[in-house]
Amino acid sequence: MNARDIRMFRRGGPEALAAEAERQAEAKRRAKARRRARPVRALGKTYEERQAEVEARWLKLKARVARRHRGRCEYRDRAARCTEPVATTDHFWSGHGRRRALESVESCWGLCAFHDQLRTHNDPTRLFWVAVFEGHVIANGLWTQLQLIARERARLKGKRRSA
């Protein structure tokens, strides 16, 4: 028994305590009935429909990136560009856990199989790939990505100091 129950018992005895318990139970039943009475939300698209939309959006994005790279790998080492054919379209800002990858023409680039393998494994380092992507951004005039690059570089340098 808490202090409130003790005061209730002193005022009206066990009948008052039982009446209060019944009142609280009735309030809970009414609240539950209100929750059940909410209108049912209309069913949305099926999983297959959503997957088809995602696939169509991804194919449009790949086509726009392909117009930019014209079949050649977009990796640049200083001023020289790789001459190998593109094997895959890569999201530079990939998703982590439940976060979705940033899908835009500015954040994707075409890489040959060799550079895609290195980039996937951050070989030699993530900071190196941020610098390479920055060169790609500047060469193609994709200025919207520079703020993300600066934020990522600061995050990586802060991580290196604390280690």
For residues 56 and 33, state if they share a domain: no
For residues 15 and 70, state if they share a domain: no
| Cα(150)–Cα(163) distance, integer angstroms | 20
For residues 110 and 52, state if they share a domain: yes
For residues 29 and 57, state if they share a domain: no
For residues 59 and 133, state if they share a domain: yes
Burial 80-117 (b: 16+ CB within 10 A, else e): ebbeeebebbbebbeeeeeeeeeeebbbbbbbbeebbe
For residues 18 and 74, state if they share a domain: no
Number of domains in the chain: 2
What pLDDT was estimated at residue 129?
93
What pLDDT was estimated at residue 98?
62
CB-based contact 127:156 (threshold 8 Å): yes
What pLDDT was estimated at residue 99?
64
pLDDT band at 115 (very low <50, low <70, confident <90, very high): very high
- In which domain, by residue range, is 15 found? 1-41
pTM of structure? 0.66
